[in-house]
Amino acid sequence: MKIVQLLFLGLMTIAMFGCKETEVLEPEQVIIRDTVFVEQELSPYVGFWSYSDIDMQNGTLELDGSPVGSFTGKGKDIVGRIAMAQNPNIYTTTVAFTAEISVFGQTQDLPVEERTSTGTWEEVDGKLKLIDDAGNDVNVVSSSESEIVFEGDFTEEITLPAGAIEANATVIFTVVK
């Protein structure tokens, strides 16, 4: 009889101390190994975006620091994308293209080597905000679930027999998902 009482007492002890309080979970919560994870809704900006259009505006040309003309241009043979991740909210962009610029009424092709940049992003009042790794705000012209338009600076040096011409412009980049 004492053995039965000891077994019963042992089972009761295990039952009392082995039970945990039951947690009531929200539908977006999951428990894995005693850790509660909250499922977060992904932003529509998360994922990969492809460059679809590059426009150069307000272009200036300088030779040895002196203005020598202006230009407009368009990107062609564009290769690049933006990868956006959430938690942490970071982005990485890589792009290379040929700048087809119009200078003095003539069209010139200027290859632009691959450029990579990184930064952080956030949604503010339903709009996308980009900040590069140098802490500068990137001007986002418009953003939606399928298209982002933002501005950047274009600087390229063109080497000629007469010297190096520096080309500077505001660039409007369009990326699509």
Verify cis geometry, omega within 30 degrees of 0, for the bond prior to 27.
no
Distance between CA atoms of 133 and 151, rounded to whole angstroms? 16
- Across 26-52, average pLDDT: 73
Q: pLDDT (tens digit, 9 = 90+) per residue, 126-150?
A: 899 999 999 999 999 999 999 999 9
Q: Quick count: other Cβ atoms within 10 Å of Cβ 27? A: 6
| E-state strands within the chain | 29-32, 35-38, 47-63, 66-85, 90-103, 106-124, 127-132, 137-138, 140-143, 147-160, 163-176
What are the start-end ranges of the H helices in the chain?
2-18
Q: Quick count: other Cβ atoms within 10 Å of Cβ 86? A: 14
Calculate the CA 144 to chain-centre distance.
14
- Would you place residue 122 in the very low, low, confident or very high pLDDT band (cuts 50, 70, 90)? very high
- Would you place residue 8 in the very low, low, confident or very high pLDDT band (cuts 50, 70, 90)? very low
Q: pLDDT (tens digit, 9 = 90+) per residue, 14-33?
A: 444 444 455 554 555 455 56
pLDDT at 33: 61
- pTM of the predicted model, to two decimals? 0.73
Looking up tokens 């492809």 gives 50
Who contacts 173 (Cβ-Cβ below 8 Å, separation ≥6)? 51, 53, 54, 95, 149, 150, 151, 152
N-to-C CA span, the chain? 75
Please compute Rg for the chain using Cα positions: 29
